[in-house]
Amino acid sequence: MSDVPAVAQVPARAARTRTIGTWALVGVVVFATVAGAMQFLRTDLDFVRATLSFYLLGPLGLWLQLAYLGLASSLALIGAGYHGAMTREARSTAALCLFLIGAIGVAVTAWAETDRGGGVALTVAAKIHAISAPLAFLGTTLGMLLQSWAFRRDPRWRQHFAMAFGLAAFCFAGLWLHALWRDLPRGLSQKAVIAAIVAWLVLAALWLRRTSR
């Protein structure tokens, strides 16, 4: 009889996980859609050379800022969703914390204006942006790696390990390639890394949405 309440909670927990996955997916898709549209709407920026930070500036920047906040919410939801959906032995608190760090970094990056260049001294906002943007990338990609590795320890999620870890490792390597190989076209290389990260997040959100009873 003592097991009945715990058993009764399982369908509710699965439904909650699916809801989290749905909202996480919405945030990621909105971000990808807005960021993609900006590449065509912002004809004043060079797609190959301009990083996404410069698309946050200007009259259309507000839409991308809002999309950044949606992405930040999705990162937090994915971290919390898997932390709650996995067994106690398999869940990774470190991954949850890293996703939250990534989410905070993304949100701060959206509102702290990047350095516009011109050789003038950095503003306070530009200094904050210079810290929060790499923190967002590192927190997110490390969270992806740890969460993917944690899939190995849970029978329900183990089937996703190979794809999740492989893609997360690709994102992490791509991030460092973008950071260290300065001869790469800055905008194109950054957007390629972001596209790969978005692909991982979409898969992670879909897997949460498909949680069975």
SS (H, E, C) 78-106: HHHHHHHHCCCCCCCHHHHHHHHHHHHHH
pLDDT number for residue 18: 95
pLDDT value of residue 213: 59
In this prediction, residue 1 carries a pLDDT of 43
**In a 3-state reduction of DSSP, which class is residue 77?**
helix
Yes or no: say if 48 and 192 are a contact pair by the CB < 8 Å rule.
no
| pLDDT at residue 181, rounded to an integer | 95
- Give the global pTM: 0.93
What is the rounded distance in angstroms from the CA atom of residue 106 to the CA atom of residue 69? 7
Q: What is the pLDDT of residue 122?
A: 83
Residue 118 pLDDT:
61
For the chain, residues with pLDDT lower than 70 are: 1-10, 118-120, 213
Looking at residue 121, what is its pLDDT? 76
Domain boundaries, the chain: 4-209
pLDDT tens-digit readout, 34-90: 999 999 999 999 999 999 999 999 889 999 999 999 999 999 999 999 999 999 999
34's tokens: 């807005």
Residue with structure tokens 């859609």? 33
User: What integer pLDDT is reported at residue 167 of this predicted model?
Assistant: 98
How far is residue 16's CA from residue 197's CA, in Å, rounded to a whole number? 24
